[in-house]
Structure 1
């Protein structure tokens, strides 16, 4: 999500237009003029001062709101892991959710610095390189972790027997997978790390570097989307084919299917528009500025929704958040009873109540280990 922000000193894209381009060699009707085509092109390829002010105000307000909500939500997720789950971070889902919240939090913390780097020409080159590098790493890691969460849910639901055999190595496998995601994110960010100083220069090599970084981001998005759709489709098919004998179990299945659809739709709604704009820019550089600024802001909003969609939908997560607010002395926190206090103690074993979406561990019936598999959704220990 290495999008640009407004720069009042940016040169007009019209200065570098090739007037031999086929775009300007079309046959005009008697009602069309060359000036009309230029005005239409200018609307998307350059911004007038009044347009810059309007978009600057919009982006500033949107980024402030995104920053506050996103930092708050992701800090709550990280705090619940640090304060209430430090001895229970055993499932791969817990590990991936923790790293996803960390990646989104770091990405949002880098947002003010990213804006400063984009709009200033006087910052040290080392600072610009470090800012772009951290921004790129957290962007790629966040997308890849969404794919890992989808694969983890697929393994728990569809490959439950394999996961049961690996239950003693789950913690190690999860940590290795998370470390691999961060390492791969660093590799994917190498073009921005090595050529960060090219972004404010106007040369052929600079455009090639920008095309490479945009192409990598598009590829990572497509890979993540393909994995999410594939895994959730198979999970939905397995859930629909499994028999249900109780109304409560059928309700949980319907809730799980609806939540999976919401996860994919939200990912598409907030990330796909910006990816499409990047694709258009690869075909016609310097254009679609208004679309880029708008869809970039939309893409950052996804970092605010991830804590809600992937963590706070779980009952136990919500309880941990309420306990955190109560321990912090927040007057809006619900009252915690004595029974609730004892149920979250470190010495007490985790419960296996069926509540939400994220599968944590499969529980096999002793009478029929193949045809009666019970799943726990969104408990997220």
Structure 2
């Protein structure tokens, strides 16, 4: 059905949450669902935007400030944070769109926002995969091999590849998203030419956005955890819990949304109540999935002791109150870790 296309991307026509196939399934009323979405979506999107900008902005500020000490792990962290920032910067526009029901920003920005939204989403997940693989090879490759292949030049090349791949995957969203002037409203919606592009979008999000990344995390971390447990380290159980939290959080935040849009694509539900519940689940699970970008700085950066010292030092310089409370803790330990630490996250601390 032609109207289904509007549901298969991350962002576009929010009126389609409520109006899709309305004629075919009359007298199924969507008024309550529309009212709920007009309040729920702008509220959650605004909250995700604020928390995402604060958390990921801190990561970028700290790593840029200490760029002379940057290593490959720092490079992955800053790219992950930038990806999440690219993603969340589009949310205020979609919050306004869902609130007023019209797109006032023009066709060019409609396509730009769509491409930025999808590129940020994909690059964020791809850099999480890169960080997982990087941790894996650091555990199982010898030092000589690591020194040969795990270079700064290789990191830059891989970074360019990830951003290019994310942008290429996002091209259909840019091409097929357009502003449409109806008699009653102006919409910014994803309208592919045929069903093949709708299937492409489902495959993109379920396979590349969930399936493959989750598989990589499970395989790599399932082999890393036994190594950690055999190490003589007081922090090994903390690190294992962190690794398990990374995998569980990724699955819990993204799987419900991917399952919901897959059910909608399969078009297995026909009765009014089931359709209403499915549309409601898409609204709720989408916002849950988006909020994962707020969690990334916590699980990938702020849990690292060296990174937290850097944050406290920076905040201390921004305010005398912070400076007084962090001076003793920071000054005594930062010099030691800045020389010896191999990366800025907790995984490197135990290594």
| TM-score tier after normalising by the smaller chain length | 0.7 to 0.9
Would you say 1:219 and 2:192 are equivalent positions?
no
Deviation at 1:193, TM superposition (A): 1.7
Higher helix share: 2
Would you say 1:194 and 2:175 are equivalent positions?
yes
User: Equivalents in 2 of 1:53, 1:239: separation in Å?
Assistant: 50
Which residue of structure 2 aligns with residue 141 of structure 1?
Answer: 123
Would you say 1:358 and 2:347 are equivalent positions?
yes
Deviation at 1:62, TM superposition (A): 1.5
In 2 relative to 1, CA 9–144 (structure 1 residues): closer, same or farther, beyond 3 Å?
A: closer
For structure 2, the residue ranges without an aligned partner over 5 or more in a row are: 1-8, 180-186, 270-274
Deviation at 1:203, TM superposition (A): 7.6
Kindly report which structure 2 residues correspond to 1:132-171, keeping only aligned pairs within 5 A, or say none.
132-161=114-143, 163-166=145-148, 170-171=151-152
In 2 relative to 1, CA 15–334 (structure 1 residues): closer, same or farther, beyond 3 Å?
A: farther
Q: Does the CA-based 8 Å contact 1:314-1:357 persist in structure 2?
A: yes
In 2 relative to 1, CA 319–116 (structure 1 residues): closer, same or farther, beyond 3 Å?
A: same
User: Equivalents in 1 of 2:191, 2:73: separation in Å?
Assistant: 45
| Structure 2 residue matching 1:120: 3-state secondary structure | coil
Which residue of structure 2 aligns with residue 21 of structure 1?
Answer: none
Deviation at 1:342, TM superposition (A): 7.7
| Structure 2 residue matching 1:150: 3-state secondary structure | helix
In 2 relative to 1, CA 334–222 (structure 1 residues): closer, same or farther, beyond 3 Å?
A: farther
Would you say 1:304 and 2:294 are equivalent positions?
yes
For structure 1, the residue ranges without an aligned partner over 5 or more in a row are: 18-37, 361-374, 377-381
Q: Does the CA-based 8 Å contact 1:228-1:264 persist in structure 2?
A: yes
- What is the TM-score when the length of structure 2 is the normalising length? 0.82
Pick the aligned partner of 1:234 from 198, 201, 223: 223
Pick the aligned partner of 1:69 from 37, 51, 56: 51
Which residue of structure 2 aligns with residue 29 of structure 1?
Answer: none
Which residue of structure 1 aligns with residue 153 of structure 2?
Answer: 172
Deviation at 1:359, TM superposition (A): 2.3
Q: Which moved more, 1:284-293 or 1:268-277?
A: 284-293
| Structure 1 residue matching 2:243: 3-state secondary structure | helix
User: Equivalents in 1 of 2:130, 2:327: separation in Å?
Assistant: 36
Give CA-to-partner distance per residue, 1:165-203, whole Å, 9 cap, x none.
327x52111121111110110111111122112896798
Would you say 1:276 and 2:259 are equivalent positions?
yes
Q: Does the CA-based 8 Å contact 1:256-1:357 persist in structure 2?
A: yes
Q: Does the CA-based 8 Å contact 2:12-2:188 persist in structure 1?
A: no
Pick the aligned partner of 1:331 from 310, 321, 324: 321
- What is the TM-score when the length of structure 1 is the normalising length? 0.76
Kindly report which structure 2 residues correspond to 1:83-94, keeping only aligned pairs within 5 A, or say none.
83=65, 85-90=66-71, 92-94=72-74
Deviation at 1:52, TM superposition (A): 1.6
User: Equivalents in 1 of 2:160, 2:226: separation in Å?
Assistant: 31
Aligned residue pairs total: 326
User: Equivalents in 1 of 2:173, 2:73: separation in Å?
Assistant: 30
Deviation at 1:15, TM superposition (A): 1.6
Which residue of structure 1 aligns with residue 310 of structure 2?
Answer: 320
